[in-house]
Structure 1
Amino acid sequence: MSATVVNLRQARKQKARETKAQSGAENRRKFGRTKTEKSQEEAETALQTIRFEGHKLTSASPSQKSDKE
């Protein structure tokens, strides 16, 4: 009878490490984006804002209306 001796403390710690690694992998899949992806999205948002602001019609502000009266 040759049985493998297992240190329970080490086995418990190894299981905790594997669980933590698995939850970390799930979080990276859900929330992780590279710096390049984040900066690309930020640049696209800025460009959309600029284009939107460029298409706005200008109207007289309240201070300009009171000057004309």
Structure 2
Amino acid sequence: MSKPVNLNQVRKARTRVDRRARADENAAKFGRTKAEKELDATRSQKARETLEQHRRDE
């Protein structure tokens, strides 16, 4: 005779696995390293400064 199975635990475990898989997919698709984020921020700041330098005073 086999051991009884708690169906709520099985359902929750399956849900956990599915959510983890979806999270891993999103991390691969949208995740960026800290260095990439800093590089993007630096480039954005440089572009803002360049634009400000070319602004005409009235």
Same fold (TM over 0.5): yes
- For structure 1, the 5+ residue unaligned runs are 60-69
Q: Does 1:32 align with 2:31?
A: yes
TM-score, normalization by structure 2: 0.67
* 1:26-47 deviations in Å (ceiling 9; x for gaps): 2212321111111110000000
Report % sequence identity: 30
Report what 1:23 is aligned to: 22
Count of paired positions: 56
- For structure 2, the 5+ residue unaligned runs are none
Structure 2 CA distance, aligned partners of 1:46 and 1:12?
Answer: 48
Structure whose alpha-carbon radius of gyration is higher: 1
TM-score, normalization by structure 1: 0.58
Shift of 1:14: 4.6
